[in-house]
Chain A
Amino acid sequence: MDRIPILRMGPFLLVSIQVDMHDRLALALQDDLMNKIRATSARGVLIDISALDLVDSFIGRMIGNIAAMAHILDAETVVTGMRPAVAITLVELGLSLKGVRTALDVERGMALLRGSPAGREDGSGRPEK
């Protein structure tokens, strides 16, 4: 089965979703990411969806799940590059992705991960929640 590649960059994991995902592929990504966070002790996950022309309730739920699960595994999640048409549709659909941090592009997303206490290279400090 196809898999979406997960890249490691220092203490962070990077995912760029470039294909129109079917549901099993989305679930496989969720599982793969959790295993990889565990295996690499990653402090943050960046998911770039700038190539996605659709986020429906299933993919939206997957994004929310990843953020929630990663949080429990002590990693921050940032979703970057959502297209305006996708954001408009997502809210009208009834999903607002509360609890998921977003950034306009990968550069800003990385800055967000690095800037958060959890994202510091030395790994010192966690945000007080």
Chain B
Amino acid sequence: MVVQRSDELPLHSDEDVVRARQAVRQRAIEQGFSLVDQTKIVTAASELARNTVVHGAGGSMRLEALNDGPRRGLRLVFQDRGPGIDDIARALKDGYSTGSGLGLGLGGARRLMSEFVISSSPGQGTTVTAVRWR
């Protein structure tokens, strides 16, 4: 598997979330994703970017265009140095929220992507890696 291109974007504000999803949209188009798949990836990116800003006290998103033989993909890596998640299984459950949201962000984003990995421990921050293959 080859990483064709890698970009890193800061995530500290509402406006950064908008910029992040626009960058993801652009890369998804370049990778040849269908309109529905683009929308799914961008929506997942929006949820995860917001989590980074709201729950992770800010961080970054790495955006990688993947090439695996004939397969094209997009990998998103969200990283923060926030308080971390102590119960990942619970955080993934629909309707569970520590904030004022609907609690659909994390679980919803997982449903919209092909691969989804969270690594986090309390006090150590959180890294979410999500991949969608075409």
From A3-11, A18-26, A104-112, the one touching the partner chain is A18-26
For B105, the chain A residues whose CB sits under 8 A away are 57
Q: A20-B22, A57-B47 are in contact. Are A89 and B40 (CB under 8 A)?
A: yes
Binding site for B on A (CB under 8 A): 20-25, 53-58, 60-61, 83-86, 88-90, 92-95
Within 8 A of A (CB), among B15-41: 15, 17-18, 21-22, 25, 35-36, 38-40
- A27: shortest Cβ distance to chain B, in Å? 10
CA distance A83 to B38 in the complex (A): 13
Closest 4 pairs between A and B when the two form their complex, measured CB to CB? A22-B14, A93-B108, A85-B39, A56-B46
- Flag whether B89 is at the interface (Cβ < 8 A): no
Secondary structure dominating the interface of A: helix
Cβ-defined contact, A94 with B111, below 8 A: yes
For B40, the chain A residues whose CB sits under 8 A away are 88-89, 92
CA distance A95 to B17 in the complex (A): 20
Binding site for A on B (CB under 8 A): 14-15, 17-18, 21-22, 25, 35-36, 38-40, 42-43, 46-47, 50, 94, 101-102, 104-105, 107-109, 111-112
Cβ-defined contact, B14 with A88, below 8 A: no
Cβ-defined contact, A61 with B101, below 8 A: yes
Number of A-B residue pairs at CB separation under 8 A: 74
Partner of B112, one of A53, A61, A93: A93
Partner of B43, one of A20, A21, A93: A93
Cβ-defined contact, A92 with B112, below 8 A: yes
Partner of A54, one of B39, B94, B102, B107: B39
CA distance A111 to B101 in the complex (A): 33
CA distance A56 to B111 in the complex (A): 13
Cβ-defined contact, B47 with A89, below 8 A: no
Nearest to A95 among chain B residues (CB) is B104
- B16: shortest Cβ distance to chain A, in Å? 9
Cβ-defined contact, B42 with A54, below 8 A: yes
Partner of A53, one of B17, B39, B104: B39
Nearest to A57 among chain B residues (CB) is B104
For B104, the chain A residues whose CB sits under 8 A away are 57, 93-95
Cβ-defined contact, B17 with A22, below 8 A: yes
For B18, the chain A residues whose CB sits under 8 A away are 20-22
Query: 6 A-B residue contacts at CB 8 Å?
Result: A22-B14, A54-B39, A56-B43, A57-B104, A85-B36, A92-B40
List 8 additional A-B contacts (Cβ < 8 Å) besides A56-B50, A89-B39, A93-B47.
A20-B18, A21-B18, A57-B101, A89-B40, A89-B43, A90-B43, A93-B109, A93-B112
